Structure 1
Amino acid sequence: MKISIRSVLDYTIDGIADLLVQVEAAEMPHQAVRNARFDPGVTEHFSRISAEDGIGTRVWLRSAERLNCTYTAEVEVSRRREDITTMAQDPVHKLPHEAVRYLMASRYCPSDEFQSFVGAEFGSLSGGACIKAMSDWIEDCLSYVPGSSHAGTTALDTFVQRRGICRDYAHLLISLARASAIPARMVSAYGPEVTPMDFHAVVEVWLDGGWRLVDPSGMSAPDRLAIIGVGRDAADIAFLTSYGFVTLQEQVVDVTETA
């Protein structure tokens, strides 16, 4: 599948701010990025650094008064859709170093708070069958309500309120998976079916010795997503992290299938 991407970040800045931007689709297996262009606008500093786990890049900008950057690209996705229900979870003592950190609770994913619930609700399941049941439970029990959460909302908040947006759905699945000793990390991505169109958050879980994509919101599938980056939770994959005061003027995400 081929998709065309355009994203715009337009913010006013109170004085000068250092900005960490992560909006570029990652060059990685199963997705090829072509005709990519990142225009940072007027800036005092521009540099790229590697993102989490070496997947994708972040851009450091130092700007005064205004951030107005645009990213465009075409991405060919060759990732296959997999049936995870037959996949086994790796024994904890055999997990490789790249998966171990994603067993741990993190800022937005207090997985230790979910162990009793996971044992009662999903204790008879393991591996991919357990993840599928968790994802289905989230999709069935939560309502997708834009504006119902905020930057400080955790998975525990979402579990209680039973509503949220894609990042909240992802945080909850990550927490449930980690509570059952399955490594899980958050993924930022572009997808043409995302409604309303925005930067999308999904989940990767470690099954059968590798990372497998799951979207608990049900809006996308692994073969229809262009990955931007990965991390422990939303703090690691934010499209914009500001060290200074900024105010949103306009934000545009436009993703369309081209072939």
Structure 2
Amino acid sequence: MTHLQISADLSYRLPAPCTILVQLEAAATPDQTLTRTDIHIGPANSQAVVPAHDSIGTRLWTTQQEQLTVSYAAQVAIDRATPDFATLPATALNDLPGQAVPYLFNSLYCSVHAFDELVAGEFPGLTGGPLVSAMADYIGQTMTYGSDVDNANSNARQSFDARKGVCRDYAHILISMARAANIPARFASTYAPDVRPQDFHAVAEIFLDGRWHLIDPTGMAQASDMAVIGIGRDATDVSFLTAFGSMQMVEQKVDVRRI
């Protein structure tokens, strides 16, 4: 079991009153337990809690004027093994549960057909977990990780063609490749202690052998060390801040460590 101590402190300037959807609290799930959690959003005490995508985690609505500040602290116990993808078979399409089916299709940042030819050509004969593992390795070998890259509006194919990106780009590419191979795949927002530089961390979650399995194509995080915040079709569904208006970052700090 892994125990993590997490803190996140954010400050944003708001040119005008703004309603914001906040999602940065670690989720309470069967394989991770929140032993301590504390969040403060201000300056105005305006909050409304709603379930997050697929009811994994929560979101907070808040309306603020001039400034948004968020201070979050948590301790999380993670009881999750890192999967051995070499042993995981694909689940037949007609055996997929209904909740996995939407993750076969295109989403805003993940175009399935953009990777059809590449997947067929690069990974002949591979299926299931071995295929997913090979795709993750391929992404790691062909992409350059750059924390200075601003690909916030790039889709998976654009990021892949640039051969450079950050964790969200790596996750979008693997998700698109898996979907191109008829394997359900979704986006997961997490905290992980070995991510450099420290920040919110995006990974993929793949449906194999009847259940979901986390995988990080950047290689910086293992499933046994990740605290999941939420999941979605792609980054659109799991943004830590979604502003319905304009805002400018003043400061943002994330710290994750084992305890």
TM range (shorter): over 0.9
The equivalent residue for 1:117 is: 118
Q: In 1, distance between residues paired with 2:103 and 2:124? A: 20
Shift of 1:44: 5.5
Question: Does 1:52 find its partner at 2:68?
Answer: no
The equivalent residue for 1:250 is: 251
TM-score, normalised via structure 1 length: 0.98
Equivalences for residues 1-259 of structure 1 within 5 A: 1-43=2-44, 45-258=46-259
Residues 149-176 of structure 1 deviation map (CA, whole Å, 9 limit, x = unaligned) = 3210110011111110000000000000
Q: In 2, distance between residues paired with 1:195 and 1:143? A: 14
Indicate the larger mover: 173-182 or 43-52.
43-52
RMSD in angstroms over aligned alpha carbons? 0.9
SS of aligned partner of 2:99: helix
Quote the sequence identity (%).
41
Q: In 1, distance between residues paired with 2:141 and 2:67? A: 42
SS of aligned partner of 1:18: strand
Residues 135-190 of structure 1 deviation map (CA, whole Å, 9 limit, x = unaligned) = 00001111001122321011001111111000000000000000000000000000
Shift of 1:106: 0.6
Q: Tell me if structure 1 keeps the 8 A contact 2:160–2:173.
A: yes
Q: What is the one-letter code of the residue matched to 1:47? A: A
After the TM superposition, which segments of 4 or more aligned residues of structure 1 sit over 3 Å from their partners? none
Residues 77-131 of structure 1 deviation map (CA, whole Å, 9 limit, x = unaligned) = 1111120111111111221111000000111001111111111111310000000
Q: What is the one-letter code of the residue matched to 2:32? A: Q
Shift of 1:232: 0.3
Q: Tell me if structure 1 keeps the 8 A contact 2:175–2:186.
A: yes
Consecutive unaligned residues in structure 2, runs of 5 or more: none
Residues 26-47 of structure 1 deviation map (CA, whole Å, 9 limit, x = unaligned) = 0001111122101002226211
Q: In 2, distance between residues paired with 1:29 and 1:131? A: 24
Q: In 1, distance between residues paired with 2:30 and 2:124? A: 34
Q: Tell me if structure 1 keeps the 8 A contact 2:151–2:159.
A: no
Q: What is the one-letter code of the residue matched to 1:157? A: Q
Indicate the larger mover: 60-69 or 141-150.
141-150
Shift of 1:19: 0.2
Q: What is the one-letter code of the residue matched to 1:213? A: L
SS of aligned partner of 2:65: strand
Q: In 2, distance between residues paired with 1:143 and 1:198? A: 18
Q: In 1, distance between residues paired with 2:179 and 2:172? A: 11
SS of aligned partner of 1:15: coil
Q: In 2, distance between residues paired with 1:128 and 1:35? A: 35
Consecutive unaligned residues in structure 1, runs of 5 or more: none
TM-score, normalised via structure 2 length: 0.98
Residues 62-83 of structure 1 deviation map (CA, whole Å, 9 limit, x = unaligned) = 0000001101000011111120
